[in-house]
């Protein structure tokens, strides 16, 4: 059994092994680096300490990226949303802001099990551009989400759609036993601000994803302008 539990801005997931001596192996992804260690139930306090130390060292979205810090935005201050009823309304959110204020990355992730709908959104913004994340193909989108990795993708042809913010490019994709869509949208420039929105949506395992469902996901992407106050 595999379970996925994002921990604030860092993707954490565990793999439970069956047998008399059950243990869980945690993989923590931050700055494109993964740390792996095993955990037994009686070591919960040690696990929390290790996580705290690791999180305190995560200050940028990539080793070669700018310095900055992560935060967890409140729902009222979030910049991105995906109003698909099946997902519910309690995503796991994180925001990176560079120290010089030039770059912003905000993510939201819904769902954790292949047996339920799952989705992720990423807003990447830079003033001036280009943004830190500007995926050019579906493989680049998969690389941004730990939950989608270690699967053999089967990509369909390129598709296009549109929402209130402009055109969207997407690919319908088979990922493991789930049918997903991967998408990217380059927003119209605002002065010297360049921004992209990218992400994924996966149906529960074994269920198809129709063209109408894909169009609905694209139409339900929501964006909010940046607050003028810190």
> Given a cut of 60, is residue 12 above it in pLDDT?
no
The answer to whether 65 touches 132, Cβ cutoff 8 Å, is yes
Tens-digit pLDDT profile for residues 49-95: 444 434 433 433 444 578 999 999 998 899 999 999 889 768 999 99
CA distance 6 to 12: 5
Tens-digit pLDDT profile for residues 115-136: 999 999 999 999 998 999 999 9
pTM above 0.95, yes or no: no
More reliable by pLDDT, 44 or 56? 44
More reliable by pLDDT, 25 or 65? 65
Pick the CATH number of 68-223 from 3.40.1000, 3.30.750, 3.40.50, 3.30.70: 3.40.1000
Mean pLDDT (the chain, rounded): 77
**Residue 175 structure tokens:** 């990922």
Q: What is the DSSP string of 173-218?
A: EEETTEEEEEEEEEPPPBTTBEEEEEEEEEPSTT----HHHHHHHH
More reliable by pLDDT, 151 or 141? 141
């Amino acid at each position: 059994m595999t379970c996925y539990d994002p921990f604030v801005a860092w993707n954490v997931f565990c793999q439970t092994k069956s047998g008399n001596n059950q243990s869980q192996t945690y993989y923590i992804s931050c700055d494109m680096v993964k740390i792996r260690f095993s955990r037994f139930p009686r070591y919960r306090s040690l696990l929390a300490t290790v996580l705290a130390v690791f999180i305190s060292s995560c200050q940028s979205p990539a080793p070669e990226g700018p310095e900055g810090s992560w935060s967890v935005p409140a729902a009222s201050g979030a910049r991105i949303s995906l109003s698909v009823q099946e997902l519910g309304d309690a995503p796991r959110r994180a925001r990176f802001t560079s120290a010089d204020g030039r770059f912003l990355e905000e993510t939201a992730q819904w769902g954790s099990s292949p047996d339920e709908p799952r989705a992720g959104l990423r807003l990447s913004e830079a003033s001036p551009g280009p943004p830190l994340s500007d995926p050019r193909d579906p493989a680049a989108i998969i690389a941004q989400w730990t939950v989608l990795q270690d699967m053999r993708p089967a990509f369909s042809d390129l598709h296009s759609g549109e929402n209130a913010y402009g055109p969207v490019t997407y690919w319908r994709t088979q990922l493991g036993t789930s049918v997903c869509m991967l998408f990217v949208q380059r927003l119209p420039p605002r002065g010297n601000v360049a921004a992209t929105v990218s992400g994924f949506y996966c149906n529960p395992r074994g269920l198809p994803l129709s063209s109408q469902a894909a169009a609905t996901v694209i139409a339900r992407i929501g964006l909010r302008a940046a607050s003028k106050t810190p």
